Amino acid sequence: MRQYTGMTNHSTMGNTVSLCEPAEPEVVGDAASRKREFGHLLDPLLDGLYGAALRMTRNREDAEDLLQDTVLRAFRFFDRFERGTNFKAWTLRMMTNLYINQYHKAARQGERVDLEDVDEFSIYAELYYQAGCLHPADPCEQVLAKLGEETIRTAIDALPPDFRLVVNLADVEGLSYEEIAQAADIPVGTVKSRLYRGRHQVQKLLWTYAQEQGIARATP
Amino acid sequence: MNLLDDTTCADAMARLYEYLDHELLPHERTAVEQHLAACEGCRYHYEFDARLLDRIRDQCRTERAPVSIRRRVDRLLASL
């Protein structure tokens, strides 16, 4: 079911914005070079941004809409992008803002889970307990190598929305705590605590799946 | 006084994620590194979690934008 109801208006797709009209040759040059610069920065990020949109919305159509809205907004505010800084983080911040405002609030209605009950679960501690495994190259490595994309994705997707967002932005997109705080409009301390609890929950779920799939032995 | 000697295993484990995320201040990072150099148990635990985070990142960054969305973005940029 599609839930993202972003600002995309398909009827505007064919409109030509005045920036491109040749009234002022100099302006046309500026607009063209601005667009070219934007395109050069955006192109190599498109796969990653689409993946990020997909991880947020968990729906291909919504992800396409969210990506398009993000591109539109990023272009509109491109003058504010500080050249030489992280364009991916800047664009992801816009995407996160759009996602939170358009979709995330609805997604978390009635689902305010704090994960307070999550203990500090650790796969390494479980393996150590089971096998006296110290060095990660032994049974630990075998478990890691068998954790596939689908299993990992299922574990992260099972997190409550607030935690899922932060874990994805940190662990998949590689944003810093400060960048996540800005993107999600939450304090850095909240980023840390959600990440801490979210990661422990992901480990707990991965351990359960690993046992179900026979990757790890069941804990007695 | 050398504050770095006081890091316990509990301190090191509490800072695990901030260390792996490169979010510690330089003196905090040094303190953790000194502890890890001396404590095999914590070092292996750190290595495992670092490899797990690498695994998550590697496995989850495989999407490719479909041709349809690339065309859509191209059309959008052309219209601006």
Q: What confidence tens digit (pLDDT) does each residue in B25-74 have?
A: 999 999 999 999 999 889 989 999 999 999 999 989 888 899 998 899 88
Mutation target vs A (from B46, B55, B57, B75; most A CBs, 10 A cutoff): B55
Residues of A in contact with B49 (CB under 8 A): 122, 124
Closest CA to A163 of A186, A141, A191, A137: A191
For A41-60, write each residue's pLDDT tens digit.
999 999 999 999 999 998 89
Mutation target vs B (from A55, A62, A130, A152; most B CBs, 10 A cutoff): A152
Chain A's closest residue to B60, CA to CA, is A149
pTM: 0.81
How does residue A110 score in pLDDT terms, banded at 50, 70 and 90?
A: low
Q: Is the confidence at residue A140, as pLDDT, over 90?
A: no
Tell me the two tokens of residue A178: 């400060």
The answer to whether the CB of A202 falls within 8 A of the CB of A167 is: yes
| DSSP-based three-state secondary structure for B12 | helix
How does residue A134 score in pLDDT terms, banded at 50, 70 and 90?
A: low
**Closest CA of chain A from B37, distance in Å:** 14
Interface pTM, i.e. ipTM: 0.87
For residue A185, the 8-state DSSP code is T
The answer to whether the CB of A70 falls within 8 A of the CB of B77 is: no
SS3 content of chain B, % helix, strand, coil (to 5): 80, 0, 20
The pLDDT of residue A4 is 62
> Are the beta carbons of B76 and A192 separated by less than 8 Å?
no
| DSSP-based three-state secondary structure for A83 | coil
The pLDDT of residue A124 is 87
Chain A's closest residue to B18, CA to CA, is A192
Residue B80 near chain A (CB below 8 Å): yes
Residue B71 near chain A (CB below 8 Å): no
